[in-house]
Amino acid sequence: MLNNSIINSEMNQWTQPALASCQILKWIGGYLCFAFICGIVLNAIILSVLLESKRRRSPIDIFIIALCVSDLLAALLGIPLPLTSNLACR
């Protein structure tokens, strides 16, 4: 019995209460889901349009391509973790 209480107290040490109610976290998760889908779809469309035309290789177009790639990576790598955490109300 003593071992279980020690394990429970150690587990409670690492868990923190949610910062908001579950309903608010679900709304934030929904917004993040929308931002995730829009970030991937819209940046992919812009990249495909800019990379398709070979004659459009001005410095501004290269800059826009770099911005789209970095934004696409931010959407792919930065949004899924907070999205799942908010949808799980944690």
**pLDDT for position 12:** 60
Are the beta carbons of 11 and 39 closer than 8 angstroms? Answer: no
Taking the whole predicted model, whether its pTM rises above 0.85 is answered as: no
- The phi and psi torsions of 15 (rounded to 5 degrees) equal -95, 140
User: What is the spatial distance between Cα 73 and Cα 76, in angstroms, rounded to a whole number?
Assistant: 5
On whether the CB atoms of residues 50 and 65 are closer than 8 A, the answer is: yes
Tell me the pLDDT tens digit for each residue of 42-85.
999 999 998 888 777 889 988 999 999 999 999 999 999 888 88
**pLDDT tens sequence across 3-36:** 555 555 555 666 666 677 888 889 999 999 999 9
Q: Rounded CA gap, 44 and 57, in Å?
A: 18
